[in-house]
Amino acid sequence: MRKQVTLIGEGADDAGGVFDETIALMCIELEDGTLPFLLPTPNARNKCGYNTDRFVLNPGCSSKTDMDYYRFMGVMFGVAIRTTKPLSLHISPMVWKLIAGIEITMDDLEEVDSAFMQAMRGIWKLSEDITPSTFSEMIPISSYEAYNMAGQLAPVVTGGSNIPLTYSNRKEYVEKAIQFRLHELDRQALAVREGMSLVIPVPLLSLTTGASLETSVCGERELDIQILKRVAKYRDCSANDMLVKWLWDTLENFTNDEKILFLRFTSGRSRLPSRVQDVTQRLLVIKTMKNKNALPTAQTCFFHLKLPNYTSQEILAARLRYAINNCRSIDTDSYMLPRNTEGGASTSDDEY
């Protein structure tokens, strides 16, 4: 049974763009701290090592309700694969390997928490000035506990907080601590896989790598304008029109963040599939007869971009930058307002 979803306080007719925008907003909430299910990597918190711009699953989210949320996250991943509509998420390579069912190693752990691995090496191979009598003074950890992905002290074995860490058992402690960290996200990753299994045949994940899975779910992080150019079509203009040439040249010179804003402006999504053949909707560039100083508009549901016939590339670039930076929400509130034929960045239907 199909159900209609109404966004409270928002007016929009969904032909695809509202769905894409809703998913994009979900991805933002997963990473901006609104929701607790993804955390910045320990390297991000410590400002060192690799993957300082990536996220990991939260080991502290372990209740039944939390597992349901992780399953829903898995459903989102599966839908992204099935629909070839990538998600704008920045999850660490280690997590993608876990979701793919690949055993992670100490190297994977170090790529998200280099400080932890450095500390473990220091405890395993002590410097010469640390002796059994000075061990407790020099090592800041006093029991079988370690900092987890969330930066909180947790026992590395059952009852670990009551087991003293000593000079003689330090190597056993290091082995237990590393094993604890290698498996602390197993429950969360399994819940994500279970969610994916509702949409795609998860056994096929055994045939992929973590990197390939990330690409399938999230597409490429760098937006390739050539993909857009290859799927574009035109109305009241052609690929040889100077206005169109200015558009593509401007987009090629945008930063990647600006390219993503342009994609959000025209389609409601933040990523493109990595293959041209997986782009299911073609960008339609329309030359309009609006005032030449008007802002461009977009019908996100239909992937339409409407451009006034600007007199220079500089004007086009300035107007486009203003539109993509200041018109980031789909809405049809203008249905209730007099039509402005001279053009702001937002007009009717589900336009920006």
Rounded Cα gap, residues 67 and 190, in angstroms: 9
The helix (run of H) or strand (run of E) holding residue 298 is strand 297-299
Joined together, the tokens standing for residue 274 give: 């990595």
DSSP letter for each residue of 160-190? GGGSB--TTTHHHHHHHHHHHHHHTTHHHHH
The backbone torsions φ and ψ at residue 110, rounded to the nearest 5 degrees and listed phi first, read -65, -30
Torsion of CA 302, 81, 105, 102, to 10 degrees: 180
Amino acid, res. 21: E
Rounded Cα gap, residues 212 and 218, in angstroms: 10
Strand partners, 287: 307
Residue from 27, 61, 218, 301 carrying the catalytic annotation: 301
Rounded Cα gap, residues 321 and 324, in angstroms: 5
Q: Is 146 helix (H, G, I), strand (E, B) or coil?
A: strand
Residue 327 annotated in active site: no
The helix (run of H) or strand (run of E) holding residue 326 is helix 313-326
Torsion of CA 259, 261, 263, 265, to 10 degrees: -140
Angle between helices 313-326 and 242-253 (to 10 degrees): 60
Catalytic residues: 301
